[in-house]
Structure 1
Amino acid sequence: MTTTPDKARETPQRTLAQSGSDLHSYPSPQTGAASSRATRKSGNASRAPSAGRAEGAAEHVAALVSEVEPGARLGTKEELRSQCGVSVGTFNEALRLLQSRGLVTVKPGPGGGLFSAEQSPMVRLGNSVLALDAQQSDVANAVRIRDALDPLLIEDALWHASPADISGLKDHIAAMEAAVGTADPVAFVHANWRLHAAIAAISPNALLSSLYSNLLDLIEAHTLTVLPASEEPLEHYIAHRHELHRDLVDALERRDRDAALHLIREHNTSLQPEEPAAER
């Protein structure tokens, strides 16, 4: 295998900005509100009972969302709270969860109440989908540029990553592994973003690092939640992505340029237009 000279800098790990994603632009094929915006269970046995009741109320309302078209009226807050059989405070917490997941909107005044949210813009994340609060093209363009910059940052990391930097990257890999263990795709994506921010921070090229971090910030800022995009469970997909990122960090630690660049090409999830047969 081909390796780069070991010019690791003995510098402390940088402060990282939480940002980024593993995305490529892809319009969501889903039209049903619930199938494209299903809620997830945290699986956290230690959560407070009130939090569990709020989650249960949120799931009840999400089931109603699944039966109506985007923009349909679900009822008043009091009607839905009574259906859920929870207190005002608990229902308000459930409402906060539903809004954070992009499932419902609240309209005041006569004829107001809770409504099934209109379809959010979408970008695809492998076998999952991110629901956005902004136009799809904004995030998709940021993702394409980010993917194009990844190999440059990997080259810099091969030359300049210190032992402290590698240790920090492994911490983020451990966070991704923990999210896989709890089947929490949202936590996984956030840990993944932190890993990529850490790799960008290694580069001595301030312009490149800043540009990349700003792109990741834009992607993260407009992401609402992570949703399934196919019949394959999200847990299977994030497990595969964890292995890929773990191998990438291992290659950086070994200064294995061929392996690292191969893995970052596999990591790139931007759709590439298929070449005509005559050009292959």
Structure 2
Amino acid sequence: MRYDDAADAPALRSGSAGRAQQAAERVADLVAAARPGERLGTKEELRTRLGVSVGTFNETLRLLQARGLVAVRPGPGGGLFAAEQSPMVRLGNSVLALDAGTADVAEAIRIRDALDPLLIEDALWHASPADIAGLREHLDVMADAAKASDPVAFVHANWRLHARIAAISPNRLLASLYHGLLEVIETHTLSVLPSADRPLPDYIAERHRLHADLVDALDARDRDRALALIAAHNTGN
């Protein structure tokens, strides 16, 4: 098929970029489930598995390498391998397994923690009954992830809860900044692993209780309790 109309070119490039991004996310899922250094397959094996063209796969590979998710090794036995994970960032009694953005995540968590009390203050003043109901729906998702012993789903649900709290704030600049920080943290996180301090299921159950208590404090407009809980949240993270 020929595309004689030059106006079609941007749309075609956009479609290819979208397919490459989708393919990159599928490979990122494989990396998250693999051991560091584990072989994922040859380029052709992965391209066939993804069902994309050579050009789209090359763009997919560029995206994956830019995120530090895969390593390419030539020769017999070569192919794509799950990249060795960089140093971890602690998340209370668990750790975030990260890609190459470790420093970015550490700074994003630090700034996010500093903004949390401001957003809690805004939520105490401005949360409507509908807002509180929305927060409780996110708590339900966290509870389901905890029951399923799925730490990755739990942490992502946790972040969605905090994003929902941020959305209550009438300060659009503050909310936008907070959402941007969460995106940095989420984008660079490959998985959630236990530390040596405590079993991960115990930690997840405790964190769920803390967030449930926080939402109850917001509902009751209990400022002292809410601020004490967000302080405990951020010191334990």
TM-score when normalising by structure 1: 0.59
Q: Structure 1 110/263 Cα, relative in aligned 2: closer, same or farther at 3 Å? A: same
AA in 2 matched with 1:121 = P
AA in 2 matched with 1:191 = A
Q: Does 1:258 align with 2:214?
A: no
Q: How many residues are paired up?
A: 188
* CA RMSD of superposed structures (Å): 3.0
> Which residue is 1:229 aligned to?
195
| Larger proportion of helix | 2
Q: Structure 1 105/197 Cα, relative in aligned 2: closer, same or farther at 3 Å? A: same
2: CA distance, partners of 1:137 / 1:75: 26
1:131 aligned counterpart, secondary structure: strand
Q: Structure 1 270/136 Cα, relative in aligned 2: closer, same or farther at 3 Å? A: farther
In the TM superposition, residue 128 of structure 1 has moved relative to its aligned partner by: 1.1
Match of 1:135 among 67, 91, 101: 101
> Which residue is 1:146 aligned to?
112
2: CA distance, partners of 1:223 / 1:188: 13
1:265 aligned counterpart, secondary structure: helix
Q: Structure 1 112/207 Cα, relative in aligned 2: closer, same or farther at 3 Å? A: same
2: CA distance, partners of 1:222 / 1:103: 10
1:134 aligned counterpart, secondary structure: coil
2: CA distance, partners of 1:238 / 1:75: 31
AA in 2 matched with 1:251 = A
1: CA distance, partners of 2:190 / 2:81: 18
1: CA distance, partners of 2:170 / 2:118: 11
In the TM superposition, residue 109 of structure 1 has moved relative to its aligned partner by: 3.8
Q: 2:85·2:98 contact (CA, 8 Å) conserved in 1?
A: no
2: CA distance, partners of 1:153 / 1:119: 33
2: CA distance, partners of 1:75 / 1:144: 34
Q: 1:147·1:270 contact (CA, 8 Å) conserved in 2?
A: no
Give the gaps of 5 or more residues in structure 2: 1-29, 51-63
Q: Structure 1 246/106 Cα, relative in aligned 2: closer, same or farther at 3 Å? A: same
> Which residue is 2:183 aligned to?
217
1:225 aligned counterpart, secondary structure: strand
Calculate percent identity across the aligned residue pairs: 68
> Which residue is 1:206 aligned to?
172
Q: Does 1:161 align with 2:127?
A: yes
Q: Structure 1 113/201 Cα, relative in aligned 2: closer, same or farther at 3 Å? A: same
Give the gaps of 5 or more residues in structure 1: 1-54, 79-87, 94-98, 272-280
Deviation sequence 1:166-221 (CA, Å, 0-9, x none): 00000000110111111110110010010000000000011111111111111111
TM-score when normalising by structure 2: 0.70
Aligned ranges for residues 21-60 of structure 1 at < 5 Å? Answer: none
AA in 2 matched with 1:149 = L
Higher relative contact order (CA closer than 8 Å, sequence separation 6+): 1
